[in-house]
Amino acid sequence: MNTLLQNQRAARVRPAEYTPAVLRIEDGSCTQATLEMYSLTGGLLSLEKPLDRGAHARVLFLTQTGPVLGMAEMLRPLSWKEQPFRFLTMHEEDERKLRAATQPAAEIAVESAP
């Protein structure tokens, strides 16, 4: 498993269509969410009820390059339904798929930079 570096601001991707996500929380329970945005370092979920800040969960979602599974820490909710998360670790194959899925967004950001 790789520990992800989070020193730079990563390119963010908004899924073009509805993207469900499944969270396996550290207590063994599961919850469903909708992925609103993702990057190499984390993302934003729409949840029925936010999880506790600092809770750890395995987050699984689909990208155009395949499914991505990573261990994440839930951050402070932005609203009653929106909660950001940051990836803590993920397997190399999942990281490769996530990099490929965010690559077009990173290229656009570099091209539009002054």
Residues 6+ apart with CB under 8 A from 4: 40, 41, 87, 88, 89, 90, 95
Going by pLDDT thresholds of 50, 70 and 90, the confidence category of residue 9 is low
pLDDT in tens, 92-101: 999 999 999 9
pLDDT at 107 over 60: no
Whole-Å CA distances, 13 to 26, 31, 86, 100, 104? 26, 22, 14, 11, 9
Residue 67 has pLDDT above 80, yes or no: yes
User: Is the Cβ–Cβ distance between 73 and 53 less than 8 Å?
Assistant: no
Q: pLDDT class for 36, splitting at 50, 70, 90?
A: very high
